[in-house]
């Protein structure tokens, strides 16, 4: 049973607009969350993270929001650029857990 | 630094054959792991290691073996390949496990079992 769910398989957005990617989790023991980005024929690369003591973390054009009560996090990309076209994975684990659980991924396409 | 390297990039096996996917890292990371990526399933953890001589099972370990004799290398062995093992395999390493530490991924091995 998947503990991390990304319910939108794909997202299409116009260049310059905001991309919002959503992720839900079921395990209340999760307290660290990451987003990875993956281009075709390459391995995933780390994008941004957040721990449960925060509700927001920002890094340039990327912001992750965490709503612990709803077990929900989201990634905002503003403004979206063509190079942002990729698959984005949400991942989570507990602080004492070596295992990382991934969502199924959301494919983002940024239109010119 | 080469980071995380994986060989081969592509492999085709017949059902019942065995093979080893190689993974090496030059960042002196203690934690290494293997994932498989399947459409609609994301990345699923196969096996992981928290240091040389220590390995443990992940979410989908059946049909795979690992060993960790050195810090640098973490090979994944398919004992008797099955079509269900057709997938893209990624090796990753980090200072420690879990989401508190960024994991560095290799470029992947695309395996097809016929």
* pLDDT of res. B10: 97
Q: pLDDT per residue over B40-77, tens digit each?
A: 888 999 999 999 999 999 999 999 999 999 999 999 99
Q: Rounded distance, CA A106 to CA B66, Å?
A: 30
How many residues appear in chain A? Answer: 112
Those of residues 23-52 in A touching chain B at CB distance below 8 A are: 30, 32-34, 36, 41-46, 49, 51
Distance (Å) from the alpha carbon of A87 to chain B's nearest alpha carbon: 10
Kindly report the number of other CB atoms within 10 A of residue B9's CB atom. 10
* pLDDT of res. B98: 65
Q: Rounded distance, CA B21 to CA A100, Å?
A: 21
Q: Rounded distance, CA A49 to CA A55, Å?
A: 11
* pLDDT of res. A1: 72
Return per-residue pLDDT of chain A as tens, 112 residues: 789 999 999 999 999 999 999 999 999 999 999 999 999 999 999 999 999 999 999 999 999 999 999 999 999 999 999 999 999 999 998 877 778 899 999 999 999 9
Distance (Å) from the alpha carbon of B61 to chain A's nearest alpha carbon: 13
Q: Out of B42, B92, B97, name the one closest to residue A89 (CB).
A: B42
DSSP per residue, A11-68? EEEETTS-EEEEEEE--TT--EEEEEEE-TTS--EEEEEEETT-SEEEETTEEEEEET
Q: pLDDT per residue over A27-37, tens digit each?
A: 999 999 999 99
B78 forms beta bridges with B19, B64
- The residue in chain A having the minimum alpha-carbon distance to the alpha carbon of residue B96 is A98
């Amino acid at each position: 049973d998947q503990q991390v769910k990304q319910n939108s398989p794909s997202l299409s957005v116009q260049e310059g607009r905001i991309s919002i990617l959503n992720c839900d989790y079921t395990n209340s023991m999760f307290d660290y969350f990451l987003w990875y980005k993956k281009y075709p024929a390459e391995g995933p690369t780390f994008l941004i993270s957040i721990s449960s003591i925060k509700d927001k973390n920002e890094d340039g054009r990327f912001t992750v929001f965490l709503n612990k009560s709803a077990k929900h996090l989201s990634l905002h990309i503003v403004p979206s650029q063509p190079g942002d076209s990729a698959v984005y994975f949400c991942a989570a684990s507990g602080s004492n857990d070596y295992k990382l659980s991934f969502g199924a991924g959301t494919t983002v396409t940024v239109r010119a | 630094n080469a980071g995380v390297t994986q060989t081969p990039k592509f492999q085709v096996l017949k059902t019942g054959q065995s093979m080893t996917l190689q993974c090496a890292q030059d960042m002196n990371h203690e934690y290494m792991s293997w994932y498989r990526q399947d459409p609609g399933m994301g990345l699923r953890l196969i096996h992981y290691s928290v240091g040389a001589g220590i390995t443990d099972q992940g979410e989908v370990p059946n049909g795979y073996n690992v060993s960790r004799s050195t810090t640098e290398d973490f090979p994944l062995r398919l004992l008797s390949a099955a079509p269900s093992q057709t997938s893209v395999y990624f090796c990753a390493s980090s200072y420690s496990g879990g989401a508190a530490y960024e994991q560095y991924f290799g470029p992947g091995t695309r395996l097809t079992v016929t």
